[in-house]
Amino acid sequence: MCLAVPAEVTELLADDMARVSLDGVTKTISVALLDEVAVGDYVILHVGHALARIDAEEARRTLALLAEVGR
Amino acid sequence: MKYVDEYRDGALARAVASAIRAEADPARTYRFMEFCGGHTHAIARYGLEDLLPANVRMIHGPGCPVCVLPVSRVDAAIRLASQPGVTLATYGDLMRVPGSKGMSLQKAKAVGADIRMVYSTLDALRIAEQEPGREVVFFAIGFETTTPPTAVALRMAETKRLGNFSVFCNHVMTPAAMRAILTTPDGVPLDGFVGPAHVSTVIGTAPYAFCAAEFGRPVVIAGFEPLDVMQAVLMLVRQVNAGRCAVENQYARAVTPEGNRKAQALVAELFELRDAFEWRGLGVLPNSALKLRPSFARFDAEARFGVETLTAADNPACDCGAILRGMKRPPDCRLFGRTCTPENPIGACMVSSEGACAAHWTYGRFREPVRAVPIEGVLP
Query: Tens digit of pLDDT for each residue in A47-56?
Result: 999 999 999 9
Residue A70 touches chain B, beta carbons under 8 Å: yes
Torsion-angle region of B261 (φ positive above 0: left; ψ -120 to 50: alpha; else: beta): alpha
pLDDT, position B87:
98
Helices within chain B (DSSP H only)? 10-23, 37-45, 48-51, 65-68, 71-81, 105-110, 121-130, 147-159, 174-183, 198-203, 209-213, 226-242, 261-270, 301-304, 320-324, 348-351, 356-359
B249: which residues sit within 8 A by CB, 6+ positions away? B200, B205, B220, B221, B255, B257
pLDDT in tens, B169-216: 999 999 999 999 999 887 889 999 999 999 999 999 999 999 999 999
Q: Which residue of B has its CA nearest to A43?
A: B254
pTM above 0.80, yes or no: yes
pLDDT, position B316:
87
| CA dist., res. B350 & res. B342, Å (int) | 6
Residue A14 touches chain B, beta carbons under 8 Å: no
Residue among A3, A46, A54 minimizing CB distance to B3? A54
| CA dist., res. A42 & res. B161, Å (int) | 33
B350 CB neighbour count, 10 Å cutoff: 31
> Which 8-state DSSP code applies to residue B279?
E
B38 contacts A48? CB cut-off 8 A = no
Q: Say how many residues make up chain A.
A: 71
ipTM for this model: 0.97
Mean pLDDT, consecutive 10-residue stretches, chain A (71 aa), reads 90 97 94 97 97 97 92 77
- DSSP H/E element including B275: none
Distance to chain A for B371, nearest Cα, Å: 32
How many A×B Cβ pairs under 8 Å? 137
Identify the structural domains of chain A with CATH numbers, from first to last.
5-70 (2.30.30.140)
CB contacts, 8 Å: B262 with chain A: 33-35
Interface test with A, best of B253, B260, B264, B349 (most A CBs within 10 A): B253
CA proximity to B231, closest of B203, B257, B204, B253: B253
CB contacts, 8 Å: B227 with chain A: 66
Q: Are B151 and B266 in contact (CB under 8 A)?
A: yes
End-to-end CA distance of chain A: give it in Å, rounded.
36
CA proximity to B167, closest of B279, B277, B88: B88
Question: Would you tell me which CATH number, out of the four given (3.90.226.10, 3.40.50.720, 3.40.30.10, 3.40.50.11740), belongs to the domain B1-362?
Answer: 3.40.50.11740
B237 CB neighbour count, 10 Å cutoff: 27
pLDDT in tens, B258-278: 999 999 999 999 999 999 999
| CA dist., res. B237 & res. B252, Å (int) | 19
B152 contacts A2? CB cut-off 8 A = no
CA proximity to B89, closest of B120, B130, B132, B133: B120
pLDDT, position B370:
54
3-class SS shares of chain B: helix, strand, coil, % to 5: 45, 20, 35
Q: Would you give per-residue pLDDT tens digits along chain B (380 residues)?
A: 899 999 999 999 999 999 999 999 999 999 999 999 999 999 999 999 999 999 999 999 999 999 999 999 999 999 999 999 999 999 999 999 999 988 999 999 999 999 999 999 999 999 999 999 999 999 999 999 999 999 999 999 999 999 999 999 999 999 999 999 999 887 889 999 999 999 999 999 999 999 999 999 999 999 999 999 999 999 999 999 999 999 999 999 999 999 999 999 999 999 999 999 999 988 999 999 999 999 999 999 999 999 888 888 888 899 998 999 899 999 999 999 999 999 888 888 998 888 999 999 999 887 766 555 555 555 54
Residue B19 touches chain A, beta carbons under 8 Å: yes
B152 contacts A44? CB cut-off 8 A = no
pLDDT, position B380:
47
pLDDT, position B200:
98
